[in-house]
Amino acid sequence: MMLSLVVWIVTALAAFAAMEGWAAFLHGKVWHRALWSVHRSHHTKRRGLFERNDALSFLHAPIATGLILYGCVGVPGPLREAAFGFGLGMTAFGVAYVLVHDGLVHRRLPVSGLARLPYLARVRDAHRVHHSTGGPPYGLFLGPLVVARRAAAGGHATGGARAARTGDAVDTTGAERDIHVGNA
Looking at residue 154, its pLDDT comes to 83
Instruction: For residue 134, name the pLDDT band (cuts at 50, 70, 90).
Output: confident
Looking at residue 41, its pLDDT comes to 87
Instruction: For residue 137, name the pLDDT band (cuts at 50, 70, 90).
Output: very high
d(CA 166, CA 151): 25
Instruction: For residue 12, name the pLDDT band (cuts at 50, 70, 90).
Output: very high
- SS3 helix, strand, coil % of the chain, rounded to 5? 70, 0, 30
Question: Coil, strand, or helix at residue 43?
Answer: helix
Instruction: Kindly state the DSSP code that residue 169 receives in the 8-state scheme.
Output: T
- The amino acid that residue 97 corresponds to is Y
Q: Does residue 13 or residue 135 have the better pLDDT?
A: 13
d(CA 63, CA 147): 31
Looking at residue 173, its pLDDT comes to 44
Instruction: For residue 165, name the pLDDT band (cuts at 50, 70, 90).
Output: very low
Looking at residue 155, its pLDDT comes to 64
d(CA 175, CA 177): 5
Looking at residue 156, its pLDDT comes to 59
